[in-house]
Structure 1
Amino acid sequence: MKILLIHPPCGPRTMGVRYIARLEPLGLEMIGAAVSAEHDVRLVDMLVRPSDLVRTLKRFTPDVAGVTSEAVRSQQAVEALRTVRKYAPDCLTVAGGYHPTTFPDAFCDPAVDLCVLGEGVETFAEICGARKAGATSFDHIAGLMIRTSGGMTPTEPRPLPTTLDNQSFPDRSLTARYRKHYFYVTEPSAAAMRLSFGCHHSCSFCTSPLYSHSRYVGRDPELIFKEICSIAEPFIYFGDNGSFHEADRMSALAHMLIDRGVKKRYLSYVRTDTIVGNPELFELWARAGMTFAMIGLEAFDDDALDGFNKGTSSSINEQAVRFLEEIGMSILAGFLVEPTAGPADFERLDAYIKAHPSILHAELTPLTPFPGTRYHQQHGHNVIARDWDLYDMQHFVVTTDLPAKKLYRMMLRSYTKVVLSVIRREKLWLPFLGIRTRKLRLLRGLLASRAALRRAHTHVQLN
């Protein structure tokens, strides 16, 4: 049976890290690994080459097509399945990922047959098995929303996974033709991995608790080590929220990498309280090759952090930043921009970044009320934009105290300072004196991101 997996593109108004990073569709590679032994599987990465979907459909007629989607690419995901339906009318179409899980009604479209809720590896494999056996009904498969004449109808809930160690490694051969196009900020060649599922914490703005119900499952360190050794790229992005939730597990993995002489570089999201509570662990990981830590600082005062249910404090954040500076680990820092933000907030932000040279790049993230989150429950009545293309955590989609144009102008000024800092640090001002391709790509990405921010206020009328 023929299976087509689709990584949809971004819309033209979508901003964010798309300009400075592009990573493999890890979830689709994991799903592909689960079904490739019994089926002919192809993967199309439309983020790299949007035209590849039609080109593939002209010579490959799938029996099942699956698309992954978060909120910001949900419209493009549905459009991709409409294209599949045009070329393969009898194909069973499936949508999965964060947005189909948290807001399946966005996929109630004639082009979409099924939505997978939550962890999708086993569910998709069961769908393909049933389809191969000739099934026309899938209501016996747990963890689905099925489109019917009355809307989206759920099947029995699927239990959350209790282990990840029975899953195959992602099938990276499916993205072989795209891999040279995967990069991350200053790293010209990048791979992605998953070390765990879920997160113990319940930040008010985060969709992860909705997906995992605040449960957490970590992979066996030996299996993680084996997967790292199987990856050709020199840089690996740990793509889950909770990679370092279990210190003993990550300590064992670091020792394996050091003792067996594995030479790679790593980036991981890490909570600041985890850093402060486990300094020896991060000294160890600095030796193992971890060069970047992505930390969500979010805010500068404890009242705001408490309001986000972050579970940290401004003191803990500062201790974590200082410690990472001491061990020479670069920081990718995230700051939330509230709808009430004003000039004083941006001045404070600028001063903080300037005072911490270890912050390689800073993401300024307007608070976004994703459906189902606590923040949406608190502020959903202030939502003024329901165009999912704008849910990229770069657009303000709620009412703001300041006029939109003024607010974006202040964001632009702060982001320009971030861009200039990166240009100075990476010496990107020498484009004609033997600059490497990676630096030229980073320079273009930073400038493209800045240009997009200049236009952001035209995308949605805020005030």
Structure 2
Amino acid sequence: MKILLVRPRPHSETIGLQHVMICEPLELEYLVSNIPEEIKDQIDIKILDMIIETEKYEILVKKENPDLILFTGYITHAGVIKELSKASKELLPSVKTGTGGVHAEVVPEDFKSEHIDFVYDRNGIDGFNLTVKMLLDGRNTEEIRRALDKPAPKKTIFDYNYPDRESVSKYRKYYYYMFHNPCALIKTSFGCPYSCSFCFCREITDGKYFSRDMDDVIKELEAIPEEEIYIVDDDFLFDRKRLNNFADLLIKKNIKKKFLVYGRADFITENADIMAKLKNVGLNAVIVGIESVRSKDLKSYNKKTTAEINENCIKILKSLDIELYATLIIPLDFTVSDFEELTKWLRRLDVRFVNLQPLTPLPGTDIFNLYTNELLYERDKFELWDMAHVLLKPEFMSIRRFYYELLKAYYKVIMRPKHLVYLVKRYGLKANIKMLCGSSLVSRQYIRKILRGI
């Protein structure tokens, strides 16, 4: 049986971070590495990364002639996956298609289509293996669907083989995250122990949080050739004891890596000693959900932090020379004055990297139902749910002006002379030119929004 695992290219309307980062499709690598031993010799499996491929999808599919095609993606890919599934069946009428990924696990109905045979809404690796076994046994689509639909809880242990990174060997040199280049991914925990109202991450595991054994994580790290490692846990900086163990094991095993992680401002503020220890074993950068400088926003998001905590976090990271990638949610009641105050705050604290996201009530989150009647677009305009489009009407300015203020605030923070000098000194001219080209493409998408006014 021939199987294609496909990561689609985003829709052209999606405002894409793929211009400044392309990370390896870890979820597909896990599918490759966890095919049961008893059927491996009956399987020919291949990953297609359409973000990197230069040939058209239809040409590649016709050339490969697979029996089964599986897609992965986020909400922004839902429409694209439906179209690719339709194209696949038109080219190969007997091919079976399926889709998985984080959005399929939370809102599987978004992938309902006559052209998609299987939607994996839980335990994707197990569901995939069940599908393959049943197809090899000659079972039909309906039989497989019934088997997949049998009630089963989402697993809270992760007892799988390490991802097969060789399965994307032809693409690996293209995988990077901003200045972390080349960059590999590793996941050490699942879900999030917090309950922010806007967050999608905790919904994937039905609110449960669990982590891998740290000895197992270290063993996987030892086998990764890349020096730059992006730990894609929803919140890596959570458990002091676990992080201490992580640092101690890196020292014991003499593992020299550079790490990028997610973390919360309150943990960083309350655990400066742990942050210093992690810095000494390779922690180079942290993505922090600052979310807002306004107390009322932090309260409404159930963030459990304050503006003071955010400031202290920024100062601690700066003192340790750990790069901060700050993310903020921009509510729709922002005024021009609010944008100016935000910009002043970020510049005063010398924040160098910032991602300003319009408030986006993602389907599946706690806040989605609060805004269903206020959406500017139809719910199934999946390509616009990228946390960059303005999906709700601003209260105090036009949509055009809101995009303009977002872009202006971003450039007033990022494009400071001393900041540009710092970037060139730290990362070199070549890396900065690449980043400038990528961010210019994102800016061009915003400028089109400003000109169109929607």
TM normalised by structure 1 equals 0.91
CA RMSD between the two structures:
2.0
Equivalent pairs counted in the alignment come to: 442
Instruction: Report the CA distance between 1:188 and its aligned residue.
Output: 2.3
Residue equivalent to 1:397:
391
Residue equivalent to 1:147:
none
Aligned equivalents of 1:200, 1:128: Cα separation in 2: 34
Aligned equivalents of 1:157, 1:285: Cα separation in 2: 42
8 Å Cα contact 2:173-2:182 kept in structure 1: yes
Aligned equivalents of 1:55, 1:258: Cα separation in 2: 49
Aligned equivalents of 2:348, 2:154: Cα separation in 1: 43
Matched, 1:92 2:96: yes
Read off the aligned partner of 1:78 and give its amino acid letter: K
Aligned equivalents of 2:402, 2:437: Cα separation in 1: 24
Residue equivalent to 1:152:
none
Residue equivalent to 1:381:
373
8 Å Cα contact 2:400-2:453 kept in structure 1: no
Q: Secondary structure at the match of 2:34?
A: helix
Q: Deviations over 1:333-362 (max 9, x none)?
A: 0010111111122112211221223x3310
Instruction: Report the CA distance between 1:276 and its aligned residue.
Output: 2.3
Q: Secondary structure at the match of 2:147?
A: coil
Instruction: Report the CA distance between 1:459 and its aligned residue.
Output: 6.5
Structure 2 segments unaligned to the other structure (5+ residues): none
Aligned equivalents of 2:211, 2:35: Cα separation in 1: 23
Q: Deviations over 1:286-325 (max 9, x none)?
A: 0110100100000112221110111222222222111111
Instruction: Report the CA distance between 1:458 and its aligned residue.
Output: 5.6
Residue equivalent to 1:420:
415
Aligned equivalents of 1:459, 1:4: Cα separation in 2: 39
Aligned equivalents of 1:158, 1:16: Cα separation in 2: 35
Aligned equivalents of 1:348, 1:102: Cα separation in 2: 36
Read off the aligned partner of 2:391 and give its amino acid letter: V
Structure with a larger share of its residues in helix? 2
Counterparts in 2 of 1:254 and 1:244: CA distance versus 1, 3 Å: same
8 Å Cα contact 1:385-1:460 kept in structure 2: no
Residue equivalent to 2:58:
54
Superposition pairs for residues 11-22 of structure 1, below 5 Å?
11-22=11-22
Residue equivalent to 2:230:
237
% identity of equivalent residues: 25
After alignment, is 331-340 or 126-135 more displaced? 126-135
Superposition pairs for residues 298-317 of structure 1, below 5 Å?
298-317=291-310
Residue equivalent to 1:125:
129
Read off the aligned partner of 1:98 and give its amino acid letter: V
Q: Deviations over 1:357-404 (max 9, x none)?
A: 3x3310000111111212112122111113111111111111111101
TM normalised by structure 2 equals 0.92
Structure 1 segments unaligned to the other structure (5+ residues): 143-154
8 Å Cα contact 1:15-1:392 kept in structure 2: yes
Instruction: Report the CA distance between 1:177 and its aligned residue.
Output: 0.7
After alignment, is 112-121 or 264-273 more displaced? 112-121
Matched, 1:138 2:144: yes
Instruction: Report the CA distance between 1:272 and its aligned residue.
Output: 1.2
Residue equivalent to 1:407:
402
Aligned equivalents of 2:450, 2:93: Cα separation in 1: 40
Aligned equivalents of 1:19, 1:171: Cα separation in 2: 25
8 Å Cα contact 2:99-2:118 kept in structure 1: yes
Superposition pairs for residues 174-323 of structure 1, below 5 Å?
174-323=167-316
Residue equivalent to 1:43:
47
Pairing partner for 1:447 from 420, 440, 452: 440
Instruction: Report the CA distance between 1:460 and its aligned residue.
Output: 7.2
Aligned equivalents of 2:340, 2:162: Cα separation in 1: 46
8 Å Cα contact 1:258-1:287 kept in structure 2: no
